[in-house]
Structure 1
Amino acid sequence: MPSRSSLAPSPARPAGLHISLLAVPDAALSTLAGIYDVMNVRALRGSPAGTASQPFRVDIVGESVGPLDLASGVPIQVQRSIDGIEASDIVIVPSLFVSGAGWQSGRYPRLVAWLQRMHESGALLCSACSGIFLLAETGLFDGKDATVHFGYARQFAAAHPAVTIHPERVLVVAGPREELVSSGASTTWHDMALYLIARYAGATEAQEVARLYALQWHHDGLAPYISFDGKIDHGDAEIEGAQRWLTTHFPVANPVEEMIKRSRLAERTFKRRFTAATGIAPIAYVQRLRIEDAKRRLERTDAPVDDISWRVGYEDAAFFRRLFKRITGLAPGAYRKRFRIPEFARP
């Protein structure tokens, strides 16, 4: 999340900052429409254009004016063409649907060139979720920090190795003018919208909009939402076999020692190859599997935390609690409260 100082209102800016909300065929309707409504809330409630009570003017822009079918098949009306926009204060790229094959770069050269021009003219460039895939094609994020939906993190890292990606972070503000803003998974566009409102219209306005739409800051980050998925497409058959054994034997005592005994490798060689193949050390891998199982038990059962600690392999419940909070960002009880299906929604 941005620092407290970066959330403070900027010096006075002219009323009605122009926001270009970019529409492309890959865009998610929910994100695009949600950002439009939240950033345009004063206009939707009847405040006169250009007044202090309407801090933003939002246009849905694209390569051409008219109806555009989005990824879901639902059309949206593009209000202005990028050809007619010489400058914009803020440009937002909404969430994009990325196929299993990954984002196909180079499909929107006119948009990429326009985004570069907007940045040169002083615009803030923002992405929601996977919108960073398109923004990153400008090259402006190379050597800088950004975030993306954790489900797309590996694809993005492979496509843009020059960008330092932080999928566990809700919001990342980068660039010498703090002009490159990216939000993480799914509805963290709420945080981005509230950040922009606080930055340019003030904290009071951001709080009022948050109350109006019942929006919440993701203060705990995205670590609680990320499920561990150990890398297995590394090509090391010996280590892959150890990983497969570990998926059902992680609660046993001394699982790392057991894996080494079952392998045909010396201890130092096994640990070195395991870390090289999976990206994390064997003991950290075991801890992540145990915590994942504990998360499911907290979500789906009424079992006491001490019992869950023992079942996933920890006799010391205090150590388990500390480890759980370090990995997920939440204490076990807080995690259960957040992710368990409420009573009124259960069958």
Structure 2
Amino acid sequence: MPTHVRAALGAALIAPLLLAGCAGNTSSNTTVDAKQVSAKIPEKVDPDTTLTIGAPDARIALKLSGQLDKLPFKVKWANISGGPQCSEAFRANSLDVCSAAEIPSIHAHWTGLDTKLVAAKYRKDPLKHPVYELGIAPGADIDTLKDLRGKKIAYSPGQAQGALVLRILAKAGLTKDDVRLVELPSTGDVYPSALGNGQVDAAPLGGVNIKRYPAKYGKDGAKTIPHGLRDDPAHLWVPAEAVEDPQKAAAIREFVKYWARASAWADTHPDEWIAGWYVKDQGLTREDGEYLVKGVGHPDFPADWTSAVARQQKTVDLLAKETGKKTFDAELLFDRRYESVAADALKSGVGEGT
């Protein structure tokens, strides 16, 4: 079974367990007193320190660029990423670092899980290179965002796609009460299938599904439309306990450096990246890989997170308003000790591979 299929199935199985586990010890108006970590990170990392990391694409990029064996600490790789899987692993104390968008950290805060964002990556020209487009079902009669009123929209709470739906509604002057949100996991082909069979009228589609969905259902009237919003945050995400441990904090700092260099390498070596990641590891076609690389654009690693925190705050406030949660200071989610690590690593040019 291809890796991307295993990951999709795993996320679909884990999400209900995660929601069930959280339901018993939280309430919609409860927020946690997240701790700010301020101790200085040791300058050197102990080579015997071990991190368990869920960032499959980073592992492949490090391998392809010749940097995997240069990591100055021990690593165990977990074939997971994203909000539901990583939150569950954090709760089980079985994961130290995860790659995820911005929404899982917000959702984790509301469910009593203290986590930190330790790296931030965005897309240059984010409106030109969006992560998602809005898939429209055949016969849904949706041409603009305002046409979403009264429609059934796929919704995955606690994930980037779910927050994007709420942001799209806000842009259109609508609220969740003006539409019917249909809770569905955003993994694999769930959203395209739900659109194709009329289970929902609209759903945010990402990756190769932006291309595949209209190709499969276009003859029946299926299409995608742009949402016109910035949707590009990508982070390295950790449980607070990991960065409270001095040696793990140092190892995480080193991983952020290598993660940034590996991302930059993939951007400047598209042919090798397509062959090694999209085709060999993810089981996609060369054509699909080329489509995805073209759509991603170039990565941007800000050395100053002020704008990132401000955008995160807007998302926190919107989600709080629409879900009945209590708003909080988004600054709590960021560990600013790592703020310039990725950008500085790229300036140094060390370890960029071949």
TM-score (norm 1): 0.23
CA radius of gyration, larger in: 1
Which gives a bigger RCO, structure 1 or 2 (Cα 8 Å, sep 6+)? 2
